[in-house]
Structure 1
């Protein structure tokens, strides 16, 4: 009895272990290793407060190297090490992307360029011209290494004021903090810094001038492309950029913040998508989950059914519709859709086209069994009826329609089993069944082409995360998948296709 009991108990423990292992097998996770961040010196004070809170909350270490933005980028290029890069201006991230050093980026905050002076402004500096006076000692951050120097040189060069300021400058420093330190100890009377930097300099104040009004730097954190630990890197990056974590610290330190995702150790993103899009996006979403260490709950169905679910109160973070009409029906939830791809209706028939079908009108042949999408349940059905009407064949074809389904895949299955002679479906539905089916194009009817838009819900707690997923959907690799599945890609512009 004891031996039997022990064997049963051991088997039970093993079974529980297997169940837990299988349950966690696909769960994205982080390794808990130390994250290495290259961070601009201008962000040192705020980043130290974020690091302290993060390490206490998760018992994970963050190693940070501070310095001028250009110097840090050069270090990344040479060393090929590290996980994250946070420069003082996102132009360095763009440069890093061009060099293949930076993958995705996450927006954080903004800093404004201002003139820093001692408290009380003893030299009465009120304008750019005052910096050119002989009795004013001016120091600036180097335009060749520091972000503030770079953006100031660019903006003042545009208005023809840089050369005179350059000549009046007594010295250049490596970082914006060094400029503030010179003014603090009296080694300089004024300098141009970021307003947020002065949060830790109570003895200094700043003057805003018109020439620098448009000179603000967007701060974003980028994931280094060579990192072997993207989930760890993005865990900390999401923490930095979360509205209820890192952004609170940025606001407290005088940075200008807006937006930001809610914090979650492992966010769960909800995506509704038309069924026809599944083969085009499923692999991309799975790869995104693994890289980010997050969960994406996707629901694929006919868009009519998805719209009904959303109107009944189910609100996903993002919606990828089969056609613009079914995005328009929930415009109040998704106010800024972006057209992504196009798909066209075709007539699908058995291989070799034994029924001799050449056009829509042929679907009205006596005794033909035709399948179409359900008008109320999916975009495909709605567009099919419009196409029939525009082609002037709706009355003739509908008596032959024996099946109306919410998805094109169901029509393909019935064609393969021989229960249908023809079906009107998307070209993408035929992509995986070319050895069994032929596709006949529908000529001369514009409404037979569907446009697939993507949008993020205005109430989503994870707009940045959803946007990064969209960037992956728009990647070159993803576009190749769309093309292989029979979709035509829309030209979205460089803002989302430069990954």
Structure 2
């Protein structure tokens, strides 16, 4: 009966939370640029979030309204009302569920919490093992797995080891939130409870015991931006503040959470990116949309990858690099140690519409009557791959006398084809895509060396690595992948990075 009553109380609390959320949504005007933000936050993060809220409101003047509660209840409220701007549950599994339901647009990692056993200071009942919690002289309280993240995480871990049923059977009560569980031990209504370590930071009379059986029961805390928010820039501004290593993460560390990483705080972050010229049509609109949504600036430099590598070796170090081929990423491996292959692009023979010169294969490029354009071997990946392709085909010595132009980018070769300065050019399929009305592309058959792979990487020394990671997630979105396909690229990445 006690468990049924607890579930009924939890359901009533859920309904109350949903009602209050609807009221907040009705009272706020989406046209007010200074209107408050609405954050749904797990009860386990209440103390630290109150400190962060005070810091943020003092620094920027924008109010942050916070609804605290069990993670599952908060998720249900978001799903029903589609209201609010941000969601911070006590475990990432709730964000995964929210993302599957398309409720969350961005996720920013923050900190970790570890499941531990809460006991009175000096541990008077000597509770040191998982078996001790089931003793007759120990009153055990647990968090409800149906509402609280710590309860769900602990149940999942202990079920795998076959210990959950016995432990749950020993509990005198299941509480809705982790704070209620800790309060029971603090007021003497219980002798032991499983809570998150960070929750005990504000309880002077309590301490925790770490058990090996609970070691896998750790929760990653991240902050999600609700997809239906009508003020994404403001929501992301606060999210970046919470996850910045010199703002919100400092508070999280003070309150006993386990933190690492995080971007350096900036009111309007500026991200620098180098990218091969041939990638511009595939990513430019995506980057512009990212800037608008995040309220940030992305400084991009498009050029031949040989030119970009030379600039980086001379000391210019961007936050991110999107290379035309792995060869040019490898040349700056010390700056970008973890590249991710994103797409592929193949070389083609570009000819005038209708192919008046009757060019059908690489071998035809050796004919004496042709003016051929190629990429510069030292300045761009396209030129380097072209030379490899000529060598593999055994035509390099014969074709080079016909080469009248060596360009750092494919776009320059396309322009010269359009003006009639060249009879044919070796370019990427993506270069040819934008000139299909005036030029034809002939595919090069059965030569793997004529295919380039485009990798993405974030600089190890970047101060805005998380921001760059979110840009990459936008580049991996379905709409972006469609743009890549329309521009002649073949998609390779699975969408994960860092």
Short-chain TM bin: over 0.9
Distance 1:35 1:186 in 2: 38
Distance 1:326 1:112 in 2: 42
Equivalent of 2:223, from 221, 225, 229?
221
- TM alignment of 1:486-497, pairs within 5 A: 486-490=488-492, 492-493=493-494, 495=496
Distance 1:494 1:214 in 2: 26
User: Are 1:315 and 2:317 matched, yes or no?
Assistant: yes
Give the secondary-structure state (helix, strand or coil) at the position aligned to 1:346: strand
Distance 1:31 1:399 in 2: 64
Distance 1:201 1:444 in 2: 69
Q: 1:57: Cα distance to partner?
A: 0.6
Q: 1:163: Cα distance to partner?
A: 0.3
- TM alignment of 1:111-150, pairs within 5 A: 111-150=113-152
- TM alignment of 1:195-210, pairs within 5 A: 195-210=197-212
Task: Name the structure 1 match of 2:35.
Answer: 33
Equivalent of 2:306, from 304, 310, 313?
304
Distance 1:84 1:360 in 2: 56
- TM alignment of 1:281-360, pairs within 5 A: 281-360=283-362
- TM alignment of 1:338-417, pairs within 5 A: 338-417=340-419
Q: CA RMSD in A?
A: 1.1
Equivalent of 1:257, from 259, 271, 276?
259
Aligned length: 467
Q: 1:433: Cα distance to partner?
A: 0.7
Task: Name the structure 2 match of 1:27.
Answer: none
Q: 1:494: Cα distance to partner?
A: 5.9
In 1, are the aligned partners of 2:138 and 2:191 still within 8 Å (CA)? yes
In 1, are the aligned partners of 2:36 and 2:62 still within 8 Å (CA)? yes
Distance 1:80 1:162 in 2: 35
Task: Name the structure 1 match of 2:55.
Answer: 53
Deviations 1:440-476 (A, max 9, x none): 1111221100000000000000010000000000001
Q: Which stretches of structure 1, 4 residues or more, deviate above 6 A after TM superposition?
A: none
- TM alignment of 1:11-22, pairs within 5 A: none
- TM alignment of 1:137-286, pairs within 5 A: 137-286=139-288
Q: 1:496: Cα distance to partner?
A: 5.9
- Name the CA shift for 1:238/1:119 in 2 (closer, same or farther; >3 Å): same
Q: Please, what TM-score do these two structures have when normalized by structure 1?
A: 0.93
Distance 1:429 1:80 in 2: 43
In 1, are the aligned partners of 2:110 and 2:262 still within 8 Å (CA)? yes
In 2, are the aligned partners of 1:137 and 1:189 still within 8 Å (CA)? yes
Deviations 1:419-441 (A, max 9, x none): 00000000000111111111111
In 1, are the aligned partners of 2:371 and 2:424 still within 8 Å (CA)? yes
Q: 1:120: Cα distance to partner?
A: 1.0
In 2, are the aligned partners of 1:33 and 1:232 still within 8 Å (CA)? no
Give the secondary-structure state (helix, strand or coil) at the position aligned to 1:214: coil
Task: Name the structure 1 match of 2:445.
Answer: 443
Q: Please, what TM-score do these two structures have when normalized by structure 2?
A: 0.93
Give the secondary-structure state (helix, strand or coil) at the position aligned to 1:348: strand
